[in-house]
Structure 1
Amino acid sequence: MASFSSSSSVTSPWLYDVFLSFRGEDTRNNFISHLYYVLVTKGIHVYKDDVELRRGTEISPTLFQAIESSRISIIGLSENYASSRWCLNELVKILECKDSKQQIVLPIFYRVDPSDVRHQRGSFGEVLAVHAKKLYDDMSLQRWKVALRDVASLSGYHVTYDRYF
């Protein structure tokens, strides 16, 4: 019987195959849970915050490390995605990793029009206006706007209904 040494195995620079970015209140218990289930049953190692994030750990550094350690990021852009500063900061980090680490980024426009995301109209424009009134840092707002425009310019999927896989 042949044995293989560990030096013959290929090691991946990626800790996760996929990082899921989504607004929990919109998609956690429907679209994202179905997507997560399908990916995991296919043997894909997925980072989903409510599964992987240990209670008591600091959120931001842990999420950013998971993004950097993922080969692919799937972004579930939903109606309330931009209302979360966490989601917007994740999006900025994901797009940075797309450029610096050649990470694959796949946007899924869940019940939102990609052009509304790109041009910050509808709910996206409304919540960015709210963020603008609350922020002391105009630079964050500008980064978020650019990130939304950039992600909406990527080829992705437009899902207008709940779909069971």
Structure 2
Amino acid sequence: MASSSNVSENQSASQNAFQEIGFTSGSYPAMTNRVPCDVFINHRGPDVKHKLASNIYYALDAIGLRPFLDVEVLEPGVVIPSAIQEAMSSASLHIAILSHNYAQSSWCLDELTFMLRTGTKIIPIFYHVEPSDARWVIQGKGIYADAFSEHETKGRFGSEKIEEWKTALHDISFLSGHVVNDDIAEGRLLKSICNEALQTRDGFPVKIARFLIRTDEHMSRLLADTDEESENSEQDVEESASECSDEIISSMVEKVEGSVSKCLNRVEVSVNVCLDRVEGSVTKCVDRVEGSVNEYLDKVEQSGDEPIDELIERGLKRAFRWFTED
């Protein structure tokens, strides 16, 4: 995390940058509700607000960062220039989405000028344009040339400001970023931006897992901002952690019980099958022995030559041999 001295320096630089570019007027009142922001998304609304900009916002929000997208963050009644100033001043990363009609927006160009002057890291995304399109503008060429000609014709902005805008576009074209076209997988782009945003905020590399497990209810309680002056803050965190642990243990116990019950059912079925097979084999053997004995008894009755004891003995031996063979 950035140190407090660095944060103060960045905020001071932000204030100076806003004053220099004339982005806000001193007549605006201070924000009553500040907008905390980790990542500021600079974009031209009609081009990408409900496309790439929105997807970036939700991807960053899903991993616990605080991105700023006006349509998602600003509440009714908030002074827009002041809110943007607060968000940009507190952000540790700026993302600039340069679309085909980007230069038509004076707001986008003012924000871009501000971002470059503060020294905060910027990730440019060239959305269906090339870095060279921004680079050529300073020479009056490329896809942004018509937009600047229109700014000059309308006369709403002085030549000095227009030159600042051109310089900002020219300079950002030399920053490493992402070129987005129809051949680029947007999911891979979003994952890369999330990794870069986490590295910028925390100061060390972090990889996004292939599968994210959301535990919003408990994590929001465990990681919520706590008031240092509250005597019960530590107790609240301990109780939240205890509740989380109890639910995890309960879930594990249910899974173990389910597995044991399933195993017992399978064992019971196997035992019953074995018993049925044993019972069937014994019954078959008894039937064969009984049949053999009866056969020899019939022979004894019909024969008067052979001693009855020998006949019975031979029959029993034969029956025993059949029984043991099975």
When normalised by structure 2's length, the TM-score is: 0.44
What's the counterpart of residue 40 of structure 1?
61
Report matched runs for 1:1-165 at 5 Å: 13=7, 15-98=36-119, 103-120=120-137, 121-135=141-155, 136-161=157-182, 163-165=185-187
Q: Answer whether contact 1:83 1:128 (CA < 8 A) is retained.
A: yes
Structure 2 Cα separation of the partners of residues 58 and 131 of structure 1: 25
Uncovered stretches (5+) of structure 1, i.e. residues with no partner? 1-9
Aligned length: 152
Structure 2 Cα separation of the partners of residues 87 and 29 of structure 1: 16
Pairwise CA RMSD: 2.0
After alignment, is 18-27 or 36-45 more displaced? 36-45
- Taking only the aligned residue pairs, the percentage that are identical comes to 34
When normalised by structure 1's length, the TM-score is: 0.84
Higher gyration radius (CA)? 2
Alignment-mate amino acid for residue 85 of structure 2: F
Q: Answer whether contact 1:118 1:150 (CA < 8 A) is retained.
A: yes
Uncovered stretches (5+) of structure 2, i.e. residues with no partner? 12-35, 188-326
Q: Answer whether contact 2:40 2:69 (CA < 8 A) is retained.
A: yes
Q: Deviations over 1:71-111 (max 9, x none)?
A: 0000010011110011111111111112xxxx111000000
Q: Answer whether contact 1:31 1:163 (CA < 8 A) is retained.
A: no
Alignment-mate amino acid for residue 113 of structure 1: E
Structure 1 Cα separation of the partners of residues 126 and 169 of structure 2: 12
Q: Deviations over 1:26-71 (max 9, x none)?
A: 1011111111111111111101111222222222232122111100
Structure ranking higher on relative contact order (CA contacts 8 Å, 6+ apart): 1
Q: Answer whether contact 1:26 1:80 (CA < 8 A) is retained.
A: yes
Structure with greater proportional helix content? 2
Q: Answer whether contact 1:118 1:149 (CA < 8 A) is retained.
A: yes
